């Protein structure tokens, strides 16, 4: 979906087929059919969830449906989106919860509250945090100093005795987490971070965890570098991936991209190196293939560290839709999954394939090709810029103005806009 920029701001991507848009300091919603579905007349809005969105005029919050009709009048002093069928709302200084019909399911009685997650919501009556269920029943008494996150995968993060602690759904301490930073579980693992000071002192290297280095007079101190080291724990609190990495990614295809001693590699969920940390640059897996650089040579490797091709390249693009862009002798072409050059290097610039098409620059003109290398748009165009195709349309810039072209080369939206934003709609690849 292409959203012509007649708006001053666009609030993120589509949710339930609707995206917030702003014009002249007012907010409304644009739908995936290219229509202003909710009039741009509100001072603030929240995203749509469960078919409803919280909207504010002046200081009053209400809820509207996808036609813009106000269906829950409130009024509320503050309101959130719906989670688990309930929305937290505030009247005066107290928070409560309503259902989609606007009924007050849980009375206004809390000093603070969070959204429901896995059937529980964090609430605070006085100075401590606890949890309630969707009926308002206290499931975990208010005894925690701070709630960092709601429940994910059966655990929440709280502070007990000044330390991060993971608690279970009964409020029992599952295990303590004596780290500087902790994160929610994703697929059974949670990232943790410790503060490490690496130093060189008279030529002797060492690591001090959670310590501050105080330099002494007249000593040889050529490096003091305070930073975080990262790792992962499992649901028993055991470090399955030690805190020795300078950076970590989320897991993709069972692998995590890590950086250690200035080099990149991939580890599995047991912390074992599947792809050794031997690359100056390395990407996450895309289509089962990662971009990798050693010295000045780029190539592709699979999840076993096997090169896709014996040939190295000056540069590569992300591997997508079974094809990867490669630079050979200052021209770009594409290799396929078998590692052979499927489309000869003849282009000035290329973007990765998205579905069946890739945007390329040929003899100074932006155009597009299919997976055989055949041009789907004219070889010679007057396009200054061209985006990827989604839903059969691409944004195109001509003489400083933006419009939209389809895969047959027809100008569907005449170039007339100073900017154009692009969004995924439901069902897009």
Averaged pLDDT, groups of 10, the chain, 429 residues long: 59 82 91 85 96 97 96 96 97 98 98 96 94 97 83 94 93 95 95 76 38 32 58 97 95 93 96 97 95 96 94 96 97 96 98 95 95 95 90 89 91 85 42
From CA 248, how far away is CA 259, in angstroms rounded? Answer: 7
pLDDT for res 216: 31
- E-strand ranges in 48-103 read 53-57, 60-64, 70-76, 78-83, 86-91, 94-98
**pLDDT given for residue 425 in this prediction:** 44
| Residue 95 CA: distances (Å) to CA of 76, 107, 110, 294 | 10, 8, 5, 56
Contacts of 343 (CB under 8 A, 6+ apart): 323, 333, 334, 369, 371, 372, 373
Put residue 156 in one of left, alpha, beta given phi > 0 → left and psi -120 to 50 → alpha.
beta
Distance CA 381, CA 217 (A): 68
Q: What is the pTM of this model?
A: 0.80
* Range list of β-strands (E), 280-371: 281-282, 289-294, 297-302, 323-328, 331-336, 341-347, 349-350, 358-362, 365-369
> Phi-psi category of 304—alpha, beta or left, where left has phi over 0 and alpha has psi -120 to 50?
alpha
Q: Could you give the CA distance from residue 54 to residue 29 in angstroms, rounded to a whole number?
A: 12
Domains and CATH numbers, the chain: 111-178 (2.40.10.480), 180-282 (no CATH)
Written as one string, the DSSP assignment of 300-316 is: EEETTS-BS-S--BS-B
Closest CA relative to residue 142, chosen from 158, 157, 154, 125: 125
Neighbours of 249 (CB within 10 A): 16
Q: Is the peptide bond before 75 cis (omega within 30 degrees of 0)?
A: yes
Nearest of 101, 103, 100, 80 to residue 90 by alpha carbon: 80
């Amino acid at each position: 979906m292409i959203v012509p920029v007649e708006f001053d701001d666009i609030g993120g991507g589509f949710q339930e087929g609707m995206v917030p848009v702003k014009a002249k300091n007012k907010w409304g919603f644009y739908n995936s059919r290219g229509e202003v579905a909710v009039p741009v007349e509100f001072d603030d809005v929240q995203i749509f969830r469960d078919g409803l969105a919280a909207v504010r005029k002046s200081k009053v919050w209400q809820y509207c449906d996808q036609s813009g009709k106000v269906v829950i009048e409130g009024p509320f002093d503050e309101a959130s989106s719906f989670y688990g069928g309930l929305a937290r709302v505030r009247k005066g200084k107290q928070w409560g919860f309503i259902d989609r019909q606007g009924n007050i399911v849980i009375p206004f009685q809390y000093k603070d509250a969070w959204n429901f997650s896995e059937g529980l919501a964090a609430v605070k009556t006085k100075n401590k945090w606890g949890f309630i269920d969707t009926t308002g029943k206290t499931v975990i008494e208010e005894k925690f100093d701070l709630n960092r996150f709601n429940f994910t995968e059966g655990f929440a993060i709280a502070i007990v005795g000044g330390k991060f602690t993971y608690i279970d759904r009964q409020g029992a301490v599952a295990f303590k987490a004596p780290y500087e930073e902790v994160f929610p579980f994703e697929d059974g693992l949670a990232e943790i971070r410790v503060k490490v000071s690496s130093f060189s002192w008279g030529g002797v290297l060492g690591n001090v965890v959670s310590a501050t280095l105080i330099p002494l007079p007249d000593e040889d101190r050529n490096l003091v570098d305070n930073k975080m080291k990262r790792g992962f724990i499992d649901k028993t609190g055991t470090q399955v991936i030690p805190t020795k990495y300078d950076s970590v990614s989320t897991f993709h295809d069972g692998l995590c991209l890590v950086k250690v001693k200035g080099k990149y590699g991939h580890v599995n969920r047991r912390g074992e190196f599947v792809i050794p940390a031997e690359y100056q640059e390395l990407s996450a897996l895309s289509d089962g293939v990662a971009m990798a650089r050693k010295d000045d040579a780029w190539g592709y490797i699979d999840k076993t560290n096997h090169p896709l091709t014996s040939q190295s390249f000056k540069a590569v693009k992300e591997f997508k839709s079974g094809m990867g862009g490669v630079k050979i002798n200052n021209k770009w072409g594409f290799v396929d999954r078998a590692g052979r050059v499927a489309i000869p290097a003849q282009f000035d610039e290329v973007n990765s394939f998205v579905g069946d098409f890739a945007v390329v620059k040929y003899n100074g003109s932006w155009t597009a090709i299919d997976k055989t290398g055949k041009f789907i748009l004219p070889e010679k165009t007057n396009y200054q810029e061209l985006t990827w195709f989604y839903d059969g349309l691409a944004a195109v810039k001509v003489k400083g103005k933006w419009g939209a072209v389809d895969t047959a080369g027809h100008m569907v939206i005449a170039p007339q806009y100073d900017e154009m934003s692009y969004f995924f709609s439901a069902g897009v690849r």
